[in-house]
Amino acid sequence: MSGSKENVVEITKLTMCEESRYRTFDGSCNNLYNPTWGMANTTFGRLLPPRYGNGINSPPKSVTGSELPLSRLVSYTLFPDNDVDDPIWTLVAMQYGQIITHDMSLAAGNSQSAACYAMLYR
């Protein structure tokens, strides 16, 4: 039965995704082999289990048990507010970062995305 996996992939691509030269607005079918990856309102798969200070929702502690520095302090330390003399690429980098940040924060989900994740990965 050689090639059966490839046939399943081809059938999945044909049934779920319409052929188009443009990407979809919700991110579906942008990856033809995994049509739901990167889709709006879907959760991210974790590589490691979550690590909260109290096991539920508080910020994590360091390995020594002390408080970690505030994320804003880390951000300002690593990326200080310096003048950059390149107005074109500076704006592009800012916009790209903004898009990625919004995409990641919205993908964290709501009850709808949790239900979709459960249906896809049961």
Reduced 3-state DSSP string for the chain: CCCHHHHHHHHHHHHHCCCCCCCCCCCCCCCCCCCCCCCCCCCCCCCCCCCCCCCCCCCCECCCCCECCCHHHHHHHHCCCCCCCCHHHHHHHHHHHHHHHHHHHHHCCCHHHHHHHHHHCC
- Compute the mean pLDDT over every residue in the chain, rounded to the nearest whole number: 75
- Among 96, 102, 112, 120, the one annotated catalytic: 102
Q: Which residues, 6 or more positions from 18, have their beta carbon under 8 angstroms from its beta carbon?
A: 29
The pair of structure tokens assigned to 105 is 């924060």
Per-residue pLDDT at 30 exceeds 60: yes
What are the sequence ranges of the domains in the chain?
Answer: 4-120
pLDDT tens digits for 41-74?
Answer: 887 777 788 888 888 888 888 989 899 999 899 9
The pLDDT confidence band at residue 77, using thresholds 50, 70 and 90, is very high
Q: Is the pTM of this model over 0.95?
A: no
**Catalytic annotation present for 64:** no
Taking a C-beta distance cutoff of 8 angstroms, is the pair 56, 37 a contact? no
